[in-house]
Amino acid sequence: MTFLGAVAKLNAEMTSNLKATGAAAISSASNLEKLFVGLYGEMPSQQEAVPDARLAAVLCGGNPLTQDLTVHARAALSGLKLAPRQLGLIKTATAIVGDFFNQPALHPQLSEKLIQHSGALIGEALMPSSWLTHKSHPVVAFLSELSEFALGWYPTHPQANDIADMLGRTLDGLQGESLNESIEIFRQWRVNFDSRVEKVSARVIQGESGTLRAQYARGLAARTINRQVAGRNLPVFMVRALVDVWQPAFQWVLLDEGDKGPLWPRLVKNFGLLVWSLQADAAEQKTKLHRVIDQLKQDFPDLLSKVINDELQRKQVLEDIEVVHLCMLHGQPVEYQATPALEGSATLDILDAEVSADLLQEVSAIQPSQWFVLPEKEIRIRLLQRVDEYQQLLFVNQLGMKALTCSYEEFAFQYSSGHVAAVTELLAIYDWSLAKLQALANQYRSKMKARAEEAQNEENAKKIEAEKRETARLRAVQDAERLQGQSLAARSELEAPPLAEPVADSVSEKAIEKKIAAATESAQDVEQARRAAVTQEYGSTPEQRRQRARLVVSGIFVGAWVSFHDGDGKESKRKLAVILPSSNKYIFVDRVGADKLQLTRTELIEGVAEGAINMLQKDARFDDALARVVGDLQRHR
């Protein structure tokens, strides 16, 4: 994958969720409050919320990197409770700021420094029309400027600490009336900083313009020669001449005409013929060797007169070539040696590697001001100048000082081998806000759906339990009526004249008692079955049932109706009339308020856990607040 493609892919992955969610958003203070009440619960009515301005001032002294800001705020406010909206905004803003500064585009050490100074920024999210929900807020534009400037920061450049301190001080000032002043101070500081960088960069371009041209000529000359002689043994004079004669000649042609002029291909072609004619195995092909030598004799003198200024050097080269050719044609020995690679050749030539045309095209498309990172050196560089004529790239650091010069091919090879990486694009703080609030909205919907399903399941369970109780009641009534009929019949028999021995009366009474006892036992069995069904819903172990019962009792309120069941299944309904917190007692009354029942909290919990006590009503104060929590945010974008 090309480096521009990799950058685009990473940025697309980070923004895909935002595009997928579309227009659903959260904005107004009322909607945010409903959202956070739904997620964190309501604040007790007898408690007053801490003023937002006071809470924001407290957060300025917090360190989100090492502290939970909600704990920090409670400690600083002497344990005062935070409203659900305040709690939710602090948690949400902390997560958004952390995600924003921890983007891969910023150096991790700088990210930590910026997060340490983001307490004021998080506190500012509590204010009306804050940066959290309004794209036009000045903090949104400022954070984009700050993060763009911070792309080039790395810990080892000379002014790294000064820059980090300046950014930290600016973030500390993002509160209340000092917010706009702090932003303006940063912008003026950056104007001065950028002005100095431009001056330094201009001097670098001026000083490197000739160097880039010479570097291009030197590198291309060495690369061309090395590719012609790579892996070959040449006569001793020729090996020496590569450095003393031929490399300077190739460089001169490139500097004078470039590689597009007529002299360059002519020189490359004739040099290739010469190299072939001087190899030992060329003597075995005498016919071809004669033809190549004749061609060189015709073209070489004129060519050398144009590329070698020193006449004595030209004559010496021609004489050495002629001597070797005569020795080869007449079978005389020639001294050969291995040809070393010329200095100035690119890394690709040394490694005998090639770069694809697609990757070179990508390199030629990068624009000045794009940032890259050298992972091995842990430095960041910015493309200052791209010289297409010489296919050279000039990079500087954040201060405008020269950091790297290389050819297109060298840069492409360094990127493909992982020695250079592109700095990814930044996402704006507002995009992180939108994604986080959308995630909270989805969480809210899931929570409301789960609660609705739970309520429906409990309602269904109540219906099933009511049906069981009604069935048990009807069965008990039928048994009682049957026993009553048997009892009346037995009494009638007792009142009638005795027809049998007195022992028969005793036997009849015992039979009636057994039937009554059996009916009672049946009602108790039904009640035990009902309780077992209820307690099974509370958990499989006694501890789980008590825990569930404690939650149920904690949610009971004055006016709630409760049903009580004795051991025989008899049910009585009572209403909670009074809660005495000092003694943990609950007082229940019947419908007319005459019959009172007093239970301690422990007794009430045990009764619920055992299934003897059931709540007939639930607190329905928690409604679907999210139904109106959509759409407002995009009107402010």
Q: Is the per-residue pLDDT at 520 higher than 90? A: no
Residue 228 in contact with residue 421, Cβ under 8 Å?
no
pLDDT in the model for residue 137: 92
Helix spans in 330-428 (H) = 347-350, 357-365, 408-416
Residue 304 to residues 29, 299, 570: CA-CA distances in angstroms?
A: 84, 9, 122
The pLDDT value recorded for residue 5 is: 46
pLDDT at 83 exceeding the cut of 90:
no
Structure confidence by residue, pLDDT tens digits, 364-402: 788 888 999 999 888 999 999 988 888 889 999 999 999
Task: Give the pLDDT confidence score for residue 619 in this predicted structure.
Answer: 40
Q: Where are the alpha helices (DSSP H) in 278-310?
A: 286-307
Task: Quote the radius of gyration of the chain (alpha carbons, Å).
Answer: 45
Residue 349: the pLDDT is 53
pLDDT at 94: 93
- Is pLDDT at 624 greater than 50 in this prediction? no
**Residue 124: closest CA among 194, 52, 224, 37:** 52
* pLDDT (0 to 100) of residue 30: 66
pLDDT tens per residue, range 29-39: 667 777 877 77
The most confident of the ranges 40-49, 191-200, 485-494 is 191-200
Q: Is the pLDDT of residue 446 over 90?
A: no
Confidence of residue 277 (pLDDT cuts 50, 70, 90): very high
Q: How confident is the model at residue 154 (pLDDT cuts 50, 70, 90)?
A: very high
CB 626 within 8 A of CB 18: no
Selection from 112-116, 213-217, 497-501 with the highest mean pLDDT? 112-116
Q: Which residues pair with 598 in a beta bridge?
A: 587
Return the higher-pLDDT residue of 20 and 126: 126
Average pLDDT for the chain: 82
pTM above 0.85, yes or no: no
Largest CA distance in the chain: 164
For residue 579, the 8-state DSSP code is E
pLDDT at residue 632 above 50?
A: no
Instruction: Give the pLDDT band of residue 517 (cuts 50, 70, 90).
Output: low
Q: What is the mean pLDDT of residues 509-532?
A: 69
Residue ranges covered by each domain of the chain:
3-200, 231-340
**79: region left, alpha or beta (phi > 0 left; psi from -120 to 50 alpha):** left
Residue 140 confidence (pLDDT) above 70? yes
Average pLDDT of span 326-350: 79
Reported confidence tier of residue 525, pLDDT bands at 50, 70, 90: confident
Q: Work out the burial of residue 229: count CB atoms within 10 Å of its CB; fewer than 13 is exposed, 13-18 middle, 19 or more buried.
A: buried
pLDDT for position 406: 87
pLDDT at 44 > cutoff 80: no
Q: Out of 218-232, 325-339, 356-370, which region has the weakest mean confidence (pLDDT)?
A: 356-370
- Rounded mean pLDDT of 63-67? 91
pLDDT digits (tens, 9 = 90+) for 158-201: 999 999 999 999 999 998 888 999 999 999 999 999 999 999 99
Q: Is the pLDDT of residue 260 over 70?
A: yes
Mean pLDDT of 509-515: 62
Task: Give the pLDDT band of residue 153 (cuts 50, 70, 90).
Answer: very high
Instruction: Evaluate if residue 8 carries a pLDDT over 50.
Output: no
Is the pLDDT reported for residue 359 higher than 70?
yes
Q: Which residue has the higher pLDDT, 317 or 636?
A: 317
Averaged over 106-134, what is the pLDDT? 92
Q: What percent of the chain has pLDDT over 90?
A: 35
C-alpha 526/C-alpha 568 separation (Å) is 8
Report the distance separating Cα 368 and Cα 304, nearest Å: 41
Please say if the pLDDT value at position 7 is more than 60: no
The answer on pLDDT for 491 being more than 70 is: no
The three-point CA angle 248-249-255 to 5° equals: 85
pLDDT value, residue 587: 92
pLDDT at 27: 47
Burial annotation 350-364 (CB, 10 A radius, 16+ → b, else e)? eeeeebeeebeebbe
Q: Round to whole Å and give the CA distance between 614 and 596.
A: 17
pLDDT of residue 526: 78
Instruction: State the Cα–Cα distance between residues 428 and 425, nearest whole angstrom.
Output: 10
pLDDT for 512 equals: 57
Which of 74-78, 215-219, 433-437, 616-620 has the lowest average pLDDT? 616-620
According to the model, what pLDDT value does residue 14 have? 38
What percent of the chain has pLDDT above 70?
84
Q: Please state the rounded mean pLDDT for residues 294-300.
A: 90
Q: Residue 268 has what pLDDT?
A: 93
Q: Residue 484 pLDDT more than 90? A: no
Taking each continuous run of H as one helix and of E as one strand, the counts in the chain are: 23, 12
Least Cα distance to 551 among 497, 595, 609 occurs for 609
Give the per-residue pLDDT at 128: 84
> For residues 181 and 45, what is the distance between their CA atoms, to the nearest angstrom?
39
Q: What is the mean pLDDT of residues 583-598?
A: 87
